[in-house]
A and B are shown apart, each in its own frame.
Chain A
Amino acid sequence: MLDFEVFSQQLITGLSNGMIIALIAIGYTMVYGIIELINFAHGDVFMLGAFLALTLLGALGMEAWGPSGQVFGVALMLIGSAVFCGGLNWSLDRLAYRALRKSSKLSLLVSAIGCSFVCMNLGLFWGGAPMTVFANGNSAAAPKNFPAIIPQINLLGDGFLRITPADLLVFTVTIPLMVGLTFMVKRTRLGRAMRAVAQDPTAASLMGIPVDRVIGATFFIGGALGGFASVIYSLYNNTIGFQMGTRAGLDAFTAAVLGGIGSLPGAVLGGLTIGCVRSMSDQYLETRWTNTIVFCILVLILIFRPNGLLGSTRREKV
């Protein structure tokens, strides 16, 4: 095989992984953009979305549905997990964060860490569900196999270069979501309200914008994107576990910071950058250096562009 083929393959892998990271990163960046909170629970909400998807898959017996039925099944999981994660994220805001809106940023941050632990332990509990897909709940903490109902076969025949239906799924779901989200923030009434609240909540409320409701909606949308991401992640990697939120969340948070936290295109750019850097480092350096490389790049970018690649300079809120 040619070097070019290897490079292209790594690029495809990097972009696929990057798209998933980006979708999660948007959830971090949206919430940060509007209330300047790093919602640490976001990664764990994402993880619970994957558990819901596996539960749906097992309960409805999707493995036996046949190809066209499984397309419907995937759509069902996507919608189910999105609504569930959106609702869960919204509830976290309603129950844990809203009461602290006026208190210091630190209390908000600590309660976000608390929510993260609660969600993670819910996942641990859920992993013990007495279902076949959860290995009959024998070992709650063990990673669970997520059946490959989107097959991992090569659409390009027998060549070295591989594009699988799972790769296609990643792109066909994430790109429209990102375009739709950008449109919503730029053009719709809710989007305008979100931008107004992000700029100045007090002024926004003076203009008659229901600030709490807009923040709630932001949490819902961010969570829903996490829900979509969780289903794509599960179908792409075919393994889920109650700890996956920590790692995925860390990658996504890094992506959000790299791209400029608070910026939507920044989160996407950050995610794709991290995905590609990981792939290239795995291929051309050694796997054990990959994490080091990613964080070195982050440090370098933050030294020369403290607001990230696409972040705007904002005044500090006190």
Chain B
Amino acid sequence: MKNSAVIISIFGACSVLFAAAQDSKVVAPANGGTLKIISSLPRTGSANAQTNTMVNGIKLAIDEVGGQIDGWKIAYEDMDDASPQRGNWDPAVEAQNANAAVKDSDCIAYIGTFNSGAAKVAIPILNRAGLAMVSPANTYPGLTKPGFGEANEPLVYRPSGKINYFRVVPTDDLQGVEAANWAKTLKAGKVFILHDRELYGKGIADVFRKQAEKLGIEVVGFEGIDSKAANYRSLATKVKATSPDLVYFGGTTQSNAGQVAKDLRSGGYEGMFMVPDGCFEQAFIEAAGAANLNGKTYITFGGLPAEKMTGKGAEFRDAYKLKFGADPEAYASYGYEAARVVLQAIAQAYTKDRAGILEAISATTGFNGVLGKWSFDANGDTSSRVMSGQTVQDGKFVFVKVLGN
């Protein structure tokens, strides 16, 4: 009896609070209310360090406008799309985040995801609700471009028929090609290609293979790894037996790139090792052990490292360093860029209407970004094509050159 009384009173209190919350929404003025940006990025697992810097970028952009635009208060919520069970992004959590954003009537934009596979889950959910999504990191081409992934892509992500998904990073069909071109200039005659069997990893490995074959590089192997295996010794022996000049791994730190690098070296492979931007984070060097990467590891990235930025990018870097006491990591600038795109759209649309914001985002042209001026094309992709190649020296990423120009 006593228990049920307690439960009833708690229930009663909740409903009163709930009613109060609803009331306050009704009396809020048409402008001068709250507009909320939600980000959904992996915070559990090794991607967290990277996510921290992206979230810092978003916060920096919001702080720069003083947390409000002409009386609209800009709220920000930082959601985690990873789970401890997977140590990586989790489709169930991603769907939960997207649904929460749809239900939150203050939410007008969704910044995310980090992983292309996660975007696949979130885009259609947000699309049905007409909520804009801006990704700071997805590079799998099929999310926006026809002809690169499955036959039903990208239409399958647009159940409403309208485009609601935008990205501020160049895609893998560009990055994979540049990676193969770079392999050619590094004089790789034979390559062995590995991938993690995920959307992003397999996708970029496919692009790499295609371009490598086009350039006359011999592809001596193409294999998907088990990203949960304890080690890749046997695979390393197999790779070594084909004596390639370069091993390309399409995958991320979270899909065991560190262990692959480690086992290739302890298995006696001494050639070059190349990875895409999914490994462009300090956590990759930590997982692989700096000594295993020294000198012969190459990392491609759709963008520029902080120290090479100029103009708006340099301003961003200095402001970031001042506020957070460290240079921004690879994706911090894209977190910042994604948030600025949303903020500019708010200023232009000046409404709490999701459709209005969406339209303003899709109309982004001549945007003064950290990598120069760019626009969104008809697919929702950035027109920016700036890419760079890095290597690892003494446990640090070192910029080598700008790719593709």
Contacts and interface: CB of A to CB of B under 8 A. Distances in A.
User: Which of the listed residues B44, B46, B48, B234 has the most CB atoms from chain A within 10 Å of its own CB?
Assistant: B234
A244 B230 contact: yes
A283 B234 contact: yes
A143 B288 CA distance: 10
Contact of B237 (A9, A141, A244): A9
Interface string B202-238: 0000000000000000000001111011110111011
Contact of A152 (B238, B258, B266): B266
B249 to A, nearest CB: 13
Interface in B264-319: 265-268, 283, 286-289
Interface in A266-318: 278-279, 282-283, 286-288, 290-291
B91 interface: no
A237 B226 contact: no
Interface stretch (A10-18, A78-86, A101-109): A10-18
Contact of B234 (A1, A145, A279, A288): A279
B241 interface: yes
A248 B46 contact: no
B224 A17 contact: no
29 contacts: A6-B238, A6-B241, A10-B237, A17-B233, A138-B49, A139-B49, A141-B44, A141-B45, A141-B48, A141-B87, A142-B46, A142-B87, A142-B283, A143-B287, A147-B289, A148-B289, A152-B266, A160-B268, A164-B266, A237-B231, A237-B259, A243-B87, A247-B229, A248-B230, A278-B234, A279-B234, A283-B234, A287-B225, A288-B197
A13 B234 contact: yes
B262 interface: yes
Contacts of A139: 45-46, 48-49, 283
A238 B48 contact: no
Interface of A: 1, 6, 9-10, 13-14, 16-17, 121, 124, 135, 138-139, 141-143, 145, 147-148, 152, 154, 160, 162, 164, 166, 233, 236-239, 241-244, 247-248, 251, 278-279, 282-283, 286-288, 290-291
A6 B224 CA distance: 20
Which bracket fits the contact residues of B? Answer: 35 or more
B84 interface: yes
Contacts of A124: 84
A52 to B, nearest CB: 18
B45 A238 contact: no
Contact of B288 (A16, A145, A286): A145
Contact of A239 (B197, B235, B258): B258
B46 A141 contact: yes
A152 B266 CA distance: 5
Contacts of B283: 135, 139, 142
B240 interface: yes
Given A139-B49, A237-B259, A239-B258, A282 B234 contact: yes
A244 B197 CA distance: 20
Nearest to A13: B233
A3 B46 CA distance: 39
Given A135-B286, A241-B87, A290-B226, 5 more contacts: A13-B237, A145-B288, A237-B230, A237-B231, A239-B259
B286 A142 contact: yes
Contacts of A148: 266, 289
Contact of B289 (A138, A164, A233, A238): A238
B238 A282 contact: yes
A6 B231 CA distance: 18
